[in-house]
Structure 1
Amino acid sequence: MELAIFLSTVLFVSLIQIAIPFLVKRTVAFGVTIPYEQTRNPKVLKYKKWYAFVTTVVALAVIIGLIVLSTILDETKLVLVGSLFPFFVLFSGLSLYFYFHYKITKLKKVHEWYSGIKQVHYADLDARSKDEMLASFVHFIPMIITVTLIILTVNLFEQLPNQIPTHWGPDGKPDAFTDKSWMSVLNLPIVLFVLQLMFFGINFFTKHSGIKINAGNVTSSKLRQLRLRKYSSWFLFVTNIIMTLLFAGLQLNLLYEQLFSDSFLLLLPFVFLLVVLVGALWLAVKVGRVDSDLEGKLATGESSKIESVDEDSYWKGGLFYFNPNDPSIFVEKRFGIGWTLNLANPIGYFVILFPIAIILILSFLIFKWF
């Protein structure tokens, strides 16, 4: 089971890493804004292919390494060592990204790609009316389940055993315990509720973020933005539901001992991981098929002498967005599919970091008492 999980994770991470340069919007290459007419530049295409090739080689080496290690290590050691392999793939991809980010930046500067191109801010008042993002209140639905769990846990508190499991081994059986307390018993549903609040905040502020359309390719870039908003909101909601079912299953098994078999409990996290990975891949394809290299066709009937304003100065390394003049809290990633924070807006820190801080504090308190 552990090998299957690690192989699935590495395979997913690798596929996404390999495909990313071809899925991001075509006017961004390795985090650098380029004019629409340069999207088929031979050097730009060459860099993307080299990134994909090297990432593929690394991924194959990691997969072979995992399979070999599974034959010589026991389960415990395989879990410790195998958990590092997906991060190795990510680190390798990130290193390649920064290398080609530098190459594209230099290429753009030397050839003065934006010389003679008029840069404008493009606004489409009709785009907002076509936005199909899910309403934020849908995230209240899983919250109802969590509140019900909390109430049920409070009512059954006196009936629970004096020792509460805090960790489960590879066989699905609990292998670490702590004394019964309100904190240890309510930890899971409280963490779940905090995560649900974070999901609500992400959806709410994403829905109110700006819809940025490329003036050099209005039709495709508009469609991409609308798809990103629609499908990412669905992905967030489905993830919330699956996560809620996972936490609810674990909490119910705590309240009603042996409600689920050990094998079922062991299977739950794997199903959750599989659904999230497949959903992320689905999101990447649905969004990445538009206004990217995968779309194939180039825009026609639109001027190549007009482009959206080059915002490279607001992107640190092409990954971190810091623009105090932009009221949006979340903006489309430049490398990857999805959203990233506008680090110049303090509300974003509250939406993401505050819930994480609460979870870390709760975890610290539990382990301190343990």
Structure 2
Amino acid sequence: MLVAIFFAIILFITIIQASIPFLLKKTIAFGVTIPEGHSGDKNLANYKKIYSSIIVILGLVGLLIFTLRGLNEHLGEEQIGVMGLIIQLVLLISSMVLYLYFHIQTTKRKREMKWGENLKMVRVADLTRQSNDEMLPSIIFALPVVVTIGLIAYTAIHYPAMPDQIPTHWGPSGQPDAFTEKSPFSVIALLLILLVTQGMMVAFNVFTKKSGVKLNAARRNSSRIQQMSFRKYTSWFMFLTSLLMTILIGFLQLTTIHGDIGGPFLMLAAPLGFLVILLLATAIYAFKVGQGGSRIQPEIEEEAITGVTDSDDDVYWKAGVFYVNKNDPSIFVEKRFGIGWTMNFGNPIGYLIIFVPVLIIIAISFSL
């Protein structure tokens, strides 16, 4: 079972990483702004193909090695797990190195070909986004928080009857394999981590709603539809993630209080179901929506406005990955390579939303 789980994860990472260059906006390539009319450049197309081909080859080699080694009956679960994590890490590091190489090559080609020098740079923002925004209201994200608070209260009521050893980790079989001494803190530690994570989701939804909507200067109407769809599906994806986490951790908490609810089968099926649903949702989100809604096909016909291009923000994107702009009030902005959002490192509020909760989670984990 463990081999199958890691096989699925490695395959998933390979497919997603290899597909990323083709899931982005046409006006973005390896973190570099590409003016309208130059997105079909043959060199850029070759960069994308080479990147994806290398990732696919590395992924297939990794899968072959993992399968052959993983089916070795002399390997224990711990060794299989370590090998699976190493292969995942190699894939991710390789994709980062390849990205940086092609980011440099794309930047160089843009500079040599003088793309955009004869075009008027325009920054177009959608000022009607509040009335057209279909993102879920933040109150919806607060519902899982209420459930978690209820579970904390339920745990407190049943504290005297709880076992002396509290599970802190569950193995591939779904059974707990690490424990800590029972205390008022340890019995709710997992729920506290969940609560902090849910708070991050609420904050992320709130500030994503407030982030600026930058439209394609040459295709304003179609890009507006894509942007609104991207925000809507992002909101739903975040809520689904929060809901799945609440269900899984809530289930694990109830098993700690009442024993193996549903028996070994359900203990195995619950985390496996969580993983399967989350991977499928991520794949649907990536391939149906694309970055910035690039894969959404608006049901309108719009001819591109000639002579204009988007304002070049490359100066604010360090290596095309880290966005640092103190003049931009947005706390979260769309990624330039990858699917989803990233933080504006020039806005200090982002550090409070991301790093403070992470530090709290780490502190809780090390306190057990």
Q: Same fold (TM over 0.5)?
A: yes
Distance in 1 between the 2:234 and 2:219 partners?
A: 22
Q: CA deviation at 1:200?
A: 0.3
Q: 1:84 to 1:55 in 2, by over 3 A?
A: same
Q: Which residues in structure 2 correspond to 1:21-32 (within 5 Å)?
A: 21-32=21-32
Q: Which residues in structure 2 correspond to 1:1-370 (within 5 Å)?
A: 1-72=1-72, 73-288=75-290, 292=294, 301-366=303-368
Distance in 2 between the 1:350 and 1:267 partners?
A: 36
Contact kept, 8 Å, 1:22 with 1:292, in 2: the verdict is no
Distance in 2 between the 1:106 and 1:157 partners?
A: 63
Q: CA deviation at 1:171?
A: 3.0
**AA partner of residue 17 (structure 2):** Q
Give the TM-score normalised by the residue count of structure 1.
0.94
Distance in 2 between the 1:292 and 1:173 partners?
A: 42
Q: What is the CA deviation profile of residues 12-60 of structure 1, one whole-angstrom value per residue up to 9, with x for unaligned ones? A: 1111111111110110000000101000111111111111111111111
SS in 2 for 1:119: strand
Distance in 1 between the 2:296 and 2:247 partners?
A: 35
Q: CA deviation at 1:336?
A: 1.1
Distance in 1 between the 2:245 and 2:206 partners?
A: 19
What is the total number of aligned residue pairs between the two structures? 366
* Structure 2 unaligned residues grouped into runs of 5+: none
SS in 2 for 1:66: helix
Q: What is the CA deviation profile of residues 329-355 of structure 1, one whole-angstrom value per residue up to 9, with x for unaligned ones? A: 111110111100001111111111111
Aligned-residue RMSD, C-alpha: 2.0
Distance in 1 between the 2:158 and 2:308 partners?
A: 66
**AA partner of residue 140 (structure 2):** V
* Structure 1 unaligned residues grouped into runs of 5+: none
Distance in 1 between the 2:286 and 2:176 partners?
A: 37
Give the TM-score normalised by the residue count of structure 2.
0.95
Contact kept, 8 Å, 1:171 with 1:263, in 2: the verdict is no
Distance in 1 between the 2:113 and 2:54 partners?
A: 27
Q: 1:157 to 1:224 in 2, by over 3 A?
A: same
Distance in 1 between the 2:294 and 2:142 partners?
A: 35
